[in-house]
Structure 1
Amino acid sequence: MLLGSAGGGVFYLLHLPLPWMMGAMTFTTVAAVSGVRIAMMPRLRMVFVAILGIMLGSAFTPQIIDHLALWSISFLWLGLYVVAATFLVRLYYIRFAGYDSVTAYFAAAPGGLSEMILAGSAFGGDEARISLAHGARILVAVFVLSFGYRWLGGYTPSGTSLAATTQGVAAVDLLWLTGAGIIGFFGARLLRLPAYALVGPMIVSAILHVLGWTTSRPPAELVAIAQIVVGSMIGARFTGLPLRLVVRGILLAIGATAILLLLAAAFGLVVDATANQRFASALLAFAPGGLAEMSLIALALGVDAAYVSSHHVVRIFMIVVAAPLVFRLFRRQG
């Protein structure tokens, strides 16, 4: 956390995009690949990921109900994207990395990192390579999209963040938000939902905001710390891995991420034309990053965070449910 905070502070002073997450991610990644043994306390991580989920839920408003019909069209395109992305990146890892079919399949499936590692190792895949593929993909995607939107797309941090000041949140609203975090966290864990620490609080917070029971958001100070935690989590994943393996994994991830981003851009154009959704939002919704990371970029740039986060939740559910079933089907046919 000290490394992540220092990195976030440096990036903030340099006016770089998404500074608290990007700075934390950069400093901890450099430290990890340099041999420093760093790790994130699981309980601390869960608390601040839940806060991020509450914040994402606050992006859902009663007006969103009017957009659900168009969102359903976008969800259908998302399903096709997941199939195409898994197929193309699997071929990439087999042809260019020499991965076996099991490792290549679970390294390619753009789902939750921990879920793909567990499923891949259960089927005999290389756990280290699967973990590195997903961790490096998120690292590359965050860098490319954050700087790309800032420098190429002309987007600047939004002046209307989904965070409030500490003084701007009433006590009763703090109780609502705290309740959303606690009920969402334990309820989602009980139901064994993927990414439950983020998804559960987000769903409960979204329900409260759609019903109009509260319009408040978490304090900006907590949101900044949550960004540091998320960024530090990315860097900590590379701890203990040989530098040569990490460098090769990142180089391979650059190629895989390029394929996924080009495919996401193509589907983004289709969604723009068929679902009346801006390309900038669709690209982030289909982009090959993590739920927390892509949602934070959407929040920072003032892009439709509810649309982006909901699509990444649906994508994770698609992959977590379908990936093992599809793999079993193909293995039986083979």
Structure 2
Amino acid sequence: MSADSSPPRFSPPTWMRWLLLVIGCVVANRALNAIHMPAGGFIGPMAVSITYGVMVGGLKLPRIGFKLSQGVIGVLIAQTLTLSVLFKILDAWPVMLIATAITLLLSLIVGIRLVRYGGLPGSTAAWGTTPGAAAAMVAMAEETDADPRIVAAMQYVRVVCVVLVGALVSHYLGVTDSGNAGHAAALPIGLGYLGDLVTTLAVVAIGVWIFDRRMPAGALLGPVMVGSVLHLTGIITIVLPQPLLELAYGVIGTYVGLRFDRETIHNIARALSKMIFASLMLIALCALSAWLMTLLMHTEFITAYLGTSPGGLDSMTIIAIDTHADVGLVVALQTLRLFTVVLVGPGMARLVARFARPSTA
């Protein structure tokens, strides 16, 4: 039994735990929105849930809620995609391939250094440092001898670092948006508007149901593809009320945050500072590659930065939408890297694991 198995000092009933968590998430959301922090509806609940999971614990958000919330973000992406955006992505594909290769190379270098000097088991640290979708990396790690809990913790530590730094960069660059005013709709009034809302929710459900287990990040990319086709052809009108977006942001942030608990922190405590340092180093190197990308593509730095950041597709998309970045380009870059990592991830993990010290293998 681990030293972390003692019962928590504060153990209220389950319903009260959820109530306190919801109240904390709402307060954090409003506080960050008040200072115009990009993606405050995501970052606030995530920070509260991390603190809550470590100090209180005992809660786990159903995975279906996380998947459907990703689907809501997916149709939000579909709403922003236009033919001009798609043509711009097609014109920029050589630069996108270069940016993806640079990001993977930088991730490989940082991962090797962390495995060599971070004091973690080689295969576990290798999967934890591979820059892909956290859920996909954990699933692949479970098929080997790696510890999936540490892999998940390492992946989400990097996600937290990327999200916080990305939001701060966006905030201090002056590109902020209060409440997604350009994308969210008011509460539906009238049968026609209500019908569009029901149709939008149906696209979310269908996209998640069809693509969730058939492709990486299918819960997010499935609704993007279905919604984009139907929206561009004029078959449907996508409407997303602000409360629905806030709920989706909050659920995703809470799901990520609750993955951290005292046992997880205990498992990674020795290398936590090195993991954070490695994440920040990778973020800085990717920011440099983003600056080089702006010279080749003549795009804004914030768009290139969010597109090359080694974070999750959903979290980077949320920040891109809130900061009026080129959402199509950000999604394209992140999606390209996601599929590339799924293909080359096992090879990268094996290569990184070779550099582990014999004493930690």
Task: Give TM-score, length-normalised by structure 1.
Answer: 0.89
Are 2:328 and 1:267 equivalent residues in the alignment? no
Quote the residue 2:203 is aligned against.
Answer: 180
Percent identity, aligned pairs only?
Answer: 22
Gapped regions of structure 1 (runs ≥ 5): none
| Rg comparison, structure with higher value | 2
Partners of 2:94 and 2:353 in 1: CA distance: 31
Q: How does 1:149-298 map to 2 (within 5 A)?
A: 149-151=170-172, 153-157=173-177, 160-167=181-188, 170-189=193-212, 192-241=214-263, 243-245=265-267, 248=270, 250-298=272-320
- How far the C-alpha of 1:201 sits from its partner, in A, is 0.7
Amino acid across the alignment from 1:115 = A
Quote the residue 1:56 is aligned against.
Answer: 77
Amino acid across the alignment from 2:253 = G
Partners of 1:330 and 1:104 in 2: CA distance: 8
Do 2:103 and 2:286's aligned partners in 1 also have CA atoms closer than 8 Å? Answer: no
Do 2:159 and 2:312's aligned partners in 1 also have CA atoms closer than 8 Å? Answer: yes
Partners of 1:101 and 1:160 in 2: CA distance: 46
- How far the C-alpha of 1:29 sits from its partner, in A, is 0.8
- How far the C-alpha of 1:225 sits from its partner, in A, is 0.7
Are 2:93 and 1:72 equivalent residues in the alignment? yes
Quote the residue 1:309 is aligned against.
Answer: 331
Partners of 1:20 and 1:195 in 2: CA distance: 21
CA deviations 1:131-151 (Å, max 9, x no partner) are: 111111111111111122212
Tell me how many residue pairs correspond in the alignment: 330
Quote the residue 2:111 is aligned against.
Answer: 90
Do 1:38 and 1:239's aligned partners in 2 also have CA atoms closer than 8 Å? Answer: no
- How far the C-alpha of 1:227 sits from its partner, in A, is 0.8
Partners of 1:145 and 1:250 in 2: CA distance: 20
Gapped regions of structure 2 (runs ≥ 5): 1-20, 355-361
Amino acid across the alignment from 2:318 = L
Partners of 2:272 and 2:62 in 1: CA distance: 25
Secondary structure of 1:167's partner? coil
CA deviations 1:121-173 (Å, max 9, x no partner) are: 3232232221111111111111111122212x122216653222223782443
CA deviations 1:150-202 (Å, max 9, x no partner) are: 12x12221665322222378244334423321331122135x21122111111
Do 1:137 and 1:257's aligned partners in 2 also have CA atoms closer than 8 Å? Answer: yes
Amino acid across the alignment from 2:196 = D
Do 1:137 and 1:250's aligned partners in 2 also have CA atoms closer than 8 Å? Answer: no
Do 1:78 and 1:315's aligned partners in 2 also have CA atoms closer than 8 Å? Answer: no
- How far the C-alpha of 1:297 sits from its partner, in A, is 0.6
The 10-residue stretch of structure 1 (58-67 or 205-214) with the greater mean CA deviation from structure 2: 205-214
Partners of 1:245 and 1:215 in 2: CA distance: 48
CA deviations 1:41-88 (Å, max 9, x no partner) are: 222222222111111111111212321333312321233124313321
Partners of 1:15 and 1:276 in 2: CA distance: 27
Secondary structure of 2:290's partner? helix
CA deviations 1:265-296 (Å, max 9, x no partner) are: 22212221222322210110011111111111
Amino acid across the alignment from 2:72 = I
Partners of 1:7 and 1:288 in 2: CA distance: 25
The 10-residue stretch of structure 1 (37-46 or 220-229) with the greater mean CA deviation from structure 2: 37-46
